Structure 1
Amino acid sequence: MQTRRLPSQVVLGALVVVVGIVLLTETTGYADVDVFWTYVPSLFILLGVYAFVASGFRNVIGPLIIVGVAGAWQLVALEYLTAEEVVQFWPLLIVLLGLSIILGQYRSRAKSVEGTYVSALGIFGGSEKRASGAFTGADLTALFGGASLDLRDADPEDHPVHVSTTALFGGVEIVAPREWNVQLDVLPIFGGASDDRARSEDEHEHVDLVVTGFAAFGGVAIED
């Protein structure tokens, strides 16, 4: 029997609840929580690590951004670095983004031997892809643009198939058949992730598609 792990959204929600409880404790004067605030960034570091592991090491850029920003925040909170010193290293985020794009292209080529693996990249524009026949997975990235994938004619070789998504100031749209059982596990930071398909009468327990990824100031949507 396979053990179901907690979705990244649930972990993020639990983290927000913890922060809210601590805030309530502070505002009501019940306890002094100054030490807690010093180590709040570590909670986000753990969240990024969890998102990385939970995606099966498929999603890199989102969790790395969370770990990098939270790690820098923690160093500043512990006074190992100043905010001015940290700001000097912001171009590293661009480096990480570029490495993620390269990794996605490499993964696409490596898996194309086994079947159809789709890679779509939309930067300041749009990228539309359609999977037809054998389908083994996809890597979709939207940066200040959009990326879409139509899976209505796809025939998954194994169940479930995995689609990795990254939406930064952009949107990713996946068109999936209504009868597919889709597991959505996208980590939203000032973004959103939703399955907007109408409910199907032909429901089954096994998962057909797993969508993982990261959405910041953007969104990932499943349509039919």
Structure 2
Amino acid sequence: MSERKNRPDSKIIIGFIFVIVGAYLLLYNLNLLPFSLPSYVISWKTFLIALGLLLVGTRENKGGGVTLIIVGGVFLVADILDVTIGELISEIWLFWPAIFIIIGLTLLLRRSREKKTENEDEFRVNESNDDYLDVSAILGGNKRLAYSQHFKGARLTAILGGVDLNLINAELAPGRHEIEVFVLLGGATIIVPNNWNIKMDITPIAGGTDDNRTFPQRYIPNAEYELIIKGVVLFGGIDLNSA
């Protein structure tokens, strides 16, 4: 838990990025800047790189952040060198034999890991007993089934993809806990038991939330157990369901 608390809060970092970019664009439009940055500095390429750095710095799973950095970096380098993506790729293609080396090493390392875990829980990829979860989906989907009997929260990230967190078989730990959600051009689905005490604190920007929970006839929230679902939704959605 202490390791999780020491990680930067992505909402604060995102807020600073929006403030800085917005202030620069406002001053630029009002001709109040004594200088102007190159066009490629304020662009969707640098946005992808900044978002990738944010994910690498705040998430346990670094793969999605690295992917965004690479994609943004390729297009940014092409802009800086004033070449087309095709020309840049043709230069990079000189090193295509390295692809075989990378694939070979990946297969060898994967096979080595499979041998170590072939007698362990074969569904570990999709199931977890951890009390705190960090689930990301970048350009794809990621489903997680939680079985923790002392669940203390999670971080969910969905960028051009979808995250599905199923907590039906989990038990909430006593106290106040949080699920932090960041959605960009994607979606997140959270399924909870219908007797959990849940509060929503989502900031939607061209997005929204949909609470589809059903409750027992004599539903009385337990104040000693509280789960806060908070975060930011940009051009996407969050679905909250119960069973």
- Normalising by structure 1, we get a TM-score of 0.62
Asked if the contact 1:194/1:220 (under 8 Å) is kept, the reply is: yes
What is the SS of the residue equivalent to 1:209?
Answer: strand
Corresponding residue for 2:60? 105
Indicate the larger mover: 152-161 or 163-172. Answer: 152-161
Choose from 18, 25, 28 the match for 1:66: 18
Q: Which runs of 5+ in 2 are unaligned?
A: 1-7, 62-129
Corresponding residue for 2:162? 146
Query: Cα distance, 1:143 vs. partner?
Result: 0.9
Query: Cα distance, 1:85 vs. partner?
Result: 4.6
Corresponding residue for 2:235? 217
Asked if the contact 1:59/1:164 (under 8 Å) is kept, the reply is: no
1:18-59 deviation digits (Å, cap 9, x = unpaired): xxxxxxxxxxxxxxxxxxxxxxxxxxxxxxxxxxxxxx9463
User: How far, CA to CA, are the matches of 1:83 and 1:191 in structure 2?
Assistant: 32
1:101-154 deviation digits (Å, cap 9, x = unpaired): 221218xxxxxxxx6211111111100112212222111111111011111122
Query: Cα distance, 1:205 vs. partner?
Result: 5.8
Choose from 128, 133, 136 the match for 2:152: 136
Corresponding residue for 1:120? 135
What is the SS of the residue equivalent to 1:88?
Answer: coil
Asked if the contact 1:149/1:173 (under 8 Å) is kept, the reply is: yes
What is the SS of the residue equivalent to 1:70?
Answer: helix
Alignment of 1:192-211 (within 5 A): 192-200=208-216, 201-204=218-221, 206=223, 208-211=226-229
What is the SS of the residue equivalent to 1:135?
Answer: coil
Larger Rg: 2
When the two chains are superposed, the root-mean-square deviation of aligned CA atoms in Å is 2.8
Asked if the contact 1:195/1:221 (under 8 Å) is kept, the reply is: yes
What is the SS of the residue equivalent to 1:156?
Answer: coil
Distance 1:186 1:66, change over 3 A: farther
User: How far, CA to CA, are the matches of 2:147 and 2:10 in structure 1?
Assistant: 23
User: How far, CA to CA, are the matches of 1:173 and 1:74 in structure 2?
Assistant: 36
User: How far, CA to CA, are the matches of 2:17 and 2:236 in structure 1?
Assistant: 15
User: How far, CA to CA, are the matches of 1:209 and 1:194 in structure 2?
Assistant: 17
Q: Which runs of 5+ in 1 are unaligned?
A: 1-55, 107-114
Distance 1:74 1:188, change over 3 A: same
User: How far, CA to CA, are the matches of 2:59 and 2:32 in structure 1?
Assistant: 35
Indicate the larger mover: 178-187 or 77-86. Answer: 77-86
Higher relative contact order (CA closer than 8 Å, sequence separation 6+):
1
- The alignment of Structure 1 onto Structure 2 pairs a total of residues equal to 162
